[in-house]
Structure 1
Amino acid sequence: MADPTGHNGGESLLFLTDEQLRKGIEAMFFAYRGFTADPDRILSEKSYGRAHHRAVHFIHRAPGTTVNNLLAILGVTKQSLNRVLRSLIEDGLVESRVGKKDKRERHLYLTETGEALERELSAAQRTRMRAAYRAAGPDAVQGFRQVLEAMMDSDMRKHYLAMKDKTV
């Protein structure tokens, strides 16, 4: 819908007040709680947490990713990631294979059980995202994605853009 004043509507966004920004920050906090609530319930039944979810998600998105790449994406300590991976491997959700070119590298793959968990977790989040996107409309979806991408640090944006084009 065209603005009768002739403005594109975006101009007012250039002059956001602190109160408008605070509301956006609070909306992100509450949305994140909702976004993680369904997977958290599924994970708690298995004694897993969000770190397990993130690892499963990114291993699914990039089968064969290395431990070092996963460390860079997740931004966690090696000790923390090792603890998460150890439990996922012991429980039969992730398989670690020695690198063909570099024997020191460990390449990570989801097992059938890991794939099933990933599908369950992502289905819950897709349902929530789909409903929110439908309610907001296509312009809002594109704008939301642009805002999220603009908030990313440049090194994270590189990882995101590399993953974004993959279809799994």
Structure 2
Amino acid sequence: MSDGRARGDSLLFLTDAQLRRGIEAMFFAYRGFTADPDRILDQYEYGRAHHRAIHFINRWPGTTVNNLLAILGVTKQSLNRVLRTLIEDGLVESAIGTRDRRERHLTLTEKGRALEAELSEAQTARMRDAFRRAGPEAVAGFRTVLEEMMDEDLRRLFEGVA
């Protein structure tokens, strides 16, 4: 048995204290992951909901409001408040659907793409540095753990099968 396998096998039997430590690590990692974008968002008086909307509209240009609701898992009222602000501020454009006039298709404007790039660059730099320091095996393991924490419907959204 190799050292890597023995170490991996021992991780299958984590104590409650070790699991709690992992939960705490996720909380603190998330705090660090959101700190840089939060500082940028504060300049615009936006919050994390704005960031998530901008991120996924950029990821899937032309996405519908209903698709964005499914991805973000927020109420229609909450999303409408966020979108209204982003549209009024000239970051998002909303177009009526060609096949279904009830649909609203969302795309970022040039100004919206610039803000999205600034936000994602901050997070990309942090992730790239952490991944580089952790090494390729840790990166693969991290991604596997994150995917295994997702419910099946969320994993499909993550994989782009929305």
Residue in structure 2 matched with residue 130 of structure 1 by the alignment: 128
Q: How high is the sequence identity, in percent, across the aligned residues?
A: 74
Corresponding residue SS for 2:74: coil
Question: How far apart are the structure 1 equivalents of 2:6 and 2:144?
Answer: 17
Q: How does 1:35-46 map to 2 (within 5 A)?
A: 35-46=33-44
CA distance in 2, matches of 1:141, 1:153: 21
TM-score normalised per structure 2: 0.96
Tell me the TM-score normalized by structure 1: 0.93
How many positions carry a matched residue from both structures? 160
**Are positions 1:84 and 2:82 aligned together?**
yes
The one-character-per-residue Cα deviations of 1:104-160 (angstroms, maximum 9, x if unpaired) are: 000000000000000000000000000100110000000000000000111111100
Partner of 1:55: 53
1:12 match: 10
Unmatched tracts of structure 2, length 5 or more: none
Instruction: Describe the superposition over 1:29-84 as per-residue Cα deviations: whole angstroms up to 9, x where unpaired.
Output: 00000000000000001000000000000000000000000000000000000000
**CA distance in structure 2 between the partners assigned to 1:19 and 1:90 by the alignment:** 48
The residue that corresponds to 1:166 in the other structure is none
Amino acid at match of 1:63: P
**Counterpart position of 2:70:** 72
Q: How far 1:25 sits from its partner (Å)?
A: 0.2
* Distance in 1 (alpha carbons) for counterparts of 2:97 and 2:7: 52
Query: Any stretches of 5+ residues in structure 1 without a counterpart?
Result: 164-168
**Residue type of the partner of 2:146?**
L
Measure, in 2, the Cα distance between the counterparts of 1:146 and 1:45: 35
